[in-house]
Structure 1
Amino acid sequence: MDVKIFDSNGEGQSYVVAGAVLSCSYGSTKSKLQAPFSHGVYSRGKAQLNIMDYKPNINIMPFGLCSSMANPAVAAATAANKGVLTRILCTPVVTMPWINGKQNVLIGKYPALLNKCTNQCMYAGIISIVDDGQE
């Protein structure tokens, strides 16, 4: 049974667990949200995550190839290719916790991560949760 939360406008939300699927607006592929350790709270046998689970290459893995011109490597490769957009391996640069966690439910001292949460890559990509991982 999935745990659903309903906000005041009736929109359903859910808690996010290890293995959730992420998407970046400038990435070529989706990736899975990793949890190298548990906060001691589980949903359907999977570790539940909080807003502090945002570390690049620990929690948030690469999204294939990056197409953001705000990424210096993409801009340089594109310039070298006479202005033709040249995608480069994605290395997300995320420096802040997830936005819009469930403030009144704490997982390991921090607000629970919800499927509506988003984050921002320093190269302008919006990172969103497309599947909460609960199956």
Structure 2
Amino acid sequence: MMLALLQVLAMGLFSPEYSYVVRGATLKCSQGTDPGILNLPWCHGVYSLDKPVMNVADHVPGVNIGCFGFCKAAGGDVCVPQTFSKWTDGKHDVLIDNEHALLSRSQLVCNRSGIITIEKDGQD
């Protein structure tokens, strides 16, 4: 019993911390050859260290997400993501413009068979 309690406590103490994602975060697509940058043309009015905080609805290609070099899944074409759903795993108890805040653990599915992840949250 005591060992099980210690294991549960240790898991809680050593679980990874996730941070809020701001404009300028570095992204990676599993099918792209180059990193990308997360952009926010219009601020939601919430800042962290003077940088605008993103939400899970900030996934629009060409607006929030640029190209990732060349796409391995598309035979070497330019890697322009096709994202039709929101980022996963936002902060459920923090809303920014009525959407969950974007966290560094969040992922985005590209319909060209890539998974987009957040490499750096943008908070220097």
- Fold in common (TM above 0.5): yes
Are 1:116 and 2:105 an aligned pair? yes
SS at match of 1:65: coil
Aligned to 1:25: 30
| Cα separation, 2, equivalents of 1:88 and 1:10 | 39
| Cα separation, 2, equivalents of 1:97 and 1:12 | 22
Q: How far does the alpha carbon of each residue in 1:103-135 deviate from its partner, in whole angstroms, 9 at most, with x for none?
A: 100111110000000011001000000000001
Q: How many residues align structurally?
A: 113
Aligned to 1:35: 40
Alignment of 1:5-84 (within 5 A): 8=12, 10-68=15-73, 71=74, 74=75
Are 1:104 and 2:93 an aligned pair? yes
Mark the runs of 5 or more structure 1 residues left unpaired by the alignment: 1-6, 75-86
Mark the runs of 5 or more structure 2 residues left unpaired by the alignment: 1-10
| Cα separation, 2, equivalents of 1:103 and 1:51 | 10
RMSD (Å) for aligned C-alpha atoms: 1.3
Aligned to 1:125: 114
Residue identity opposite 1:119 in structure 2: L
Percent identity over paired residues: 40
TM-score (normalizing by structure 1): 0.81
